[in-house]
Structure 1
Amino acid sequence: MNEGLRVRERIGAADVVTLANAVVGFVAGVVALSNPQLAARLVLLAAIADALDGIVARQFGGTEVGPLLDSVTDVVSFGATPALLVYGIAAAEWGWLGDGLTSAPSAQAAAALAAGSLFVVFSILRTALYSQFVGEGENRPGIQNTLGATILAAAYLSGLTWVPGLLAVVVVLSVAMVAPVPYPNLRARDAGVLGVVQAAAVVAPLALSRALPRFLLVAALAYMFLAPRYYWGE
């Protein structure tokens, strides 16, 4: 007897938050093709939703399908969407966003597409390998694609608009996602503080001379470079 997918029985509160994350990521990807700054803010919002689904799962319990939904959503919000953001930023700063890819100088178009493709490929690779080979409680090799997307969005909102430099950052973040370096989980207190700063950066990225996204960027980079040696997470 075919019982169907039994969606109502198999999907929990945390999964709804995860799916909301996917919606925000999709919207951000579309917006990146016309308004990269707004798209960067939406990427940060998606990262907040990504953290919230874990909190909701611990509070109300997870589901069997939850980890798979989370992995698929990561590829959307923190793989494909940042890749589109890279393209949108490059096109906007180089002056051919409105006219489209066909109007772009070939070298610029190739650079933007190559950097974005590299990010999405390494994000997919990291998600697949992590899901298949890294168990609960084991060292987490490579930076989270959420962190990579957050650094990219925060860097742009902080004022990094020089495209060659931004593309170089994208390449470094892409490789770092599969680097054999273990990263600890953030303590709940630290994650909460950063979450508040991140939410404020979404709401008012230009306030106080871009202080909020710049603080977020410094904190994210500090975690990326210092956490494997100096930070003891949960």
Structure 2
Amino acid sequence: MFLLDVLDHTVKKLKAQTANVLTLANLSLGGFAIIVGINGNLNLSLLLIFVAALADRFDGMVARKFNIESELGKQLDSMSDIISFGVAPALLLYQGILYEFGAPGSFFTVFYIGCGAFRLARFNITESNGYFTGLPITAAGCLATLSFLAIPNLPPQTFLFIIIILSLLMVSPFKLRKV
């Protein structure tokens, strides 16, 4: 009987950490995306950001399914999201094209990251009411990452415009229904 109780307790503890493990996978993938991007492997960076988006999608689903949502999980998710969908996509675009603009390219790369951090902080202190305020950073990061694929086909100035628009959309007051 004791062994079954210990096993049951262990399974419950593991289940309780499943969402956090997925969140840390998101963070790790974003971290690796940054490292490989800095080292010039931009295509692998792009792939890692999209795999991080999958981990991000599943961590919330798992937390709700197992009823293990927590304040710690919410904060950890935001910290992971700033890495995977703030810093990683910004550096991907910077390495891919924005560096060509010198100081303005650097400024708007950091501006995007700052707007993403603001967006996440605002989300964490706001009651969930079925709506997002502003564009979620995951969506902005995926759009920024997708835009990287168009670098050979669009004028370079387009990417300054994209990063500025995504930045402003993240901090804007518009409401977007959660799906």
Superposed pair shares fold, TM > 0.5? yes
Within the candidate set 13, 35, 43, 2:41 is matched to 35
* Contact map agreement 1:82 1:116 (CA 8 A) in 2: no
Within the candidate set 162, 174, 179, 1:181 is matched to 174
Question: Match of 1:24?
Answer: 29
Question: Match of 2:121?
Answer: 128
Task: Tell me by how many angstroms 1:63 deviates.
Answer: 4.3
Looking at structure 2, the residues matched to 38 and 169 of structure 1 have their Cα atoms a distance apart, in angstroms, of 21
Question: Match of 1:170?
Answer: 163
Within the candidate set 11, 16, 20, 1:15 is matched to 20
Deviations 1:153-208 (A, max 9, x none): 11222x2343321121000000000111101112xxxxxxxxxxxxxxxxxxxxxx
Identity of aligned residues (%): 29
Gaps of 5+ in 2: 1-11
Q: Which stretches of structure 1, 4 residues or longer, exceed 6 Å deviation after superposition?
A: none
Question: Match of 2:148?
Answer: 156
Alignment of structure 1 residues 201-220 onto 2, 5 Å: none
Within the candidate set 104, 109, 115, 1:116 is matched to 109
Gaps of 5+ in 1: 1-7, 95-107, 187-234
Question: Match of 2:95?
Answer: 88
Deviations 1:12-35 (A, max 9, x none): 100000000000000101122212
Task: Tell me by how many angstroms 1:112 deviates.
Answer: 2.2
* Contact map agreement 2:112 2:163 (CA 8 A) in 1: yes
Looking at structure 2, the residues matched to 171 and 47 of structure 1 have their Cα atoms a distance apart, in angstroms, of 21
Looking at structure 1, the residues matched to 22 and 121 of structure 2 have their Cα atoms a distance apart, in angstroms, of 21
**Under a length normalisation based on structure 1, what TM-score does the superposition of the two structures give?**
0.64
CA RMSD of aligned residues (A): 2.0
What is the aligned length? 163
**Under a length normalisation based on structure 2, what TM-score does the superposition of the two structures give?**
0.83
